[in-house]
Amino acid sequence: MDKAKLTQIHEKIQAYQTIIITPHARPDGDCIGTALGLRNILRTTYPNKAVYAVGEETDYVKFLGKLDQIDDAVFKGALVIAVDTGNEERIADQRYKTGDFLIKIDHHINVSPYGDIDYVDIHRPAAALIILDLFFLFEDTYRMTIEGAKALFTGTLTDTGRFKYPGVDGDTFRHIARLYDLGLDAQEIYRELDTKTEELVRFKGDVLLNYQKTDNGVAYIKITEELIQEYGVSIEEASSMVNELGVFEDSPIWVLLAEYEEKIVRARIRSKGPAINEIAAMFDGGGHALASGANLGTWERAEALLEVLDHHAKTYKETH
């Protein structure tokens, strides 16, 4: 935790009357939880400020609340805070460029610095925990309701794989414990996240029946637009199946390949040991050492990714 930089962020928050928070495009639970949690803190603490969270929504964590719809003019003279977003191109609302001051708050490897204040803490396994760093550092000033606690807990829970992924440490649980002290009911959140439609359960069955493996054990599933339409699930629901492939003993790497709008192919890549973020960067992506994503574009490029990952898996097995 960089207290000096967090103090700079705190001072900018105090200085601006209009504050706009934006997650990244195609949001996950952490970036939505982080954005809504920060919005809750700032609205609760500063009721006279205009505080918004804008961008794309996802059904996955819709129970946390809705993002705001604002006019272009609101950005003029505003403080903009981009959360959980590694590079500027992925900021969900590109109107941020017309704001007055930009702050980046992120926990991914900082390969693309940006912003007037660039705050990155790769030791935090979720961006939501950085917001809690800020909150507890200035706890004499900041206030939060249960809705904010729910959002930040959900962000942490989803990005740590329910506290199973690398990076979870004592600070993670100390922050979560303090959310419980504020009155958090985590069981409600678990119920929301564990509830599945029958369509999604049937889709999961298809994933488990039709996954494939490369010669060196890279497990993968290909999700086409036709498959999504057949089962009646959303692309977000379909992509959430990525960790269903992480249970095989001989698969150090697994991948979910999905066809998004206009048949653009993207990959979610996960690993039990070999670092995959540099490979993701080769395919216009990035992320963490054991959890990354890539923008492939075509199925031909997806095959190229699988070839590189297969070689990476082979090398890993030979040295471990």
* pLDDT tens readout for residues 149-162: 999 999 999 999 89
Q: What sign has the CA pseudo-torsion 91, 97, 99, 102?
A: positive
Question: For position 291, what pLDDT does the model report?
Answer: 87
Q: Kindly report the average pLDDT of the chain as a whole number.
A: 93
**Global pTM value:** 0.87
Domains annotated on the chain, with CATH: 3-193 (3.90.1640.10), 198-319 (3.10.310.30)
Question: For position 110, what pLDDT does the model report?
Answer: 84
- Under the banding of pLDDT at 50, 70 and 90, the label for residue 280 is very high
Question: For position 267, what pLDDT does the model report?
Answer: 94
Element (H, E) at 256: strand 253-259
In this prediction, residues 155-172 reach a mean pLDDT of: 91
Element (H, E) at 318: helix 299-319
* CA separation for the pair 279, 292 (Å, rounded): 9
* Residues 255, 220 contacting (CB under 8 angstroms): yes
30-86 pLDDT, tens digit per residue, is 999 999 999 999 999 999 999 999 998 888 899 999 999 999 999 999 999 999 998
Question: For position 164, what pLDDT does the model report?
Answer: 86
* Residue 270 clears pLDDT 80, i.e. is over it: yes
Question: For position 101, what pLDDT does the model report?
Answer: 98
In this prediction, residues 1-29 reach a mean pLDDT of: 95
* Residue 239 clears pLDDT 80, i.e. is over it: yes
- Under the banding of pLDDT at 50, 70 and 90, the label for residue 144 is very high
Question: For position 261, what pLDDT does the model report?
Answer: 78
Percent of the chain with pLDDT over 70: 100
Question: For position 196, what pLDDT does the model report?
Answer: 87
281-313 pLDDT, tens digit per residue, is 899 888 788 888 898 999 999 999 999 999 999
Long-range contacts of 267-273 (CB under 8 A, 24+ apart): 267/293, 267/294, 267/296, 267/302, 267/305, 268/239, 268/242, 268/293, 269/293, 269/294, 269/305, 269/309, 270/242, 270/243, 270/245, 270/246, 272/246, 273/316, 273/320
- Under the banding of pLDDT at 50, 70 and 90, the label for residue 254 is very high
Question: For position 143, what pLDDT does the model report?
Answer: 97
- Under the banding of pLDDT at 50, 70 and 90, the label for residue 108 is confident
Q: What is the three-class DSSP state of 275?
A: coil
Which tokens in the block code for residue 311?
């070689």
* Residue 148 clears pLDDT 90, i.e. is over it: yes
* CA separation for the pair 170, 172 (Å, rounded): 5
In this prediction, residues 163-183 reach a mean pLDDT of: 93
Question: For position 300, what pLDDT does the model report?
Answer: 94
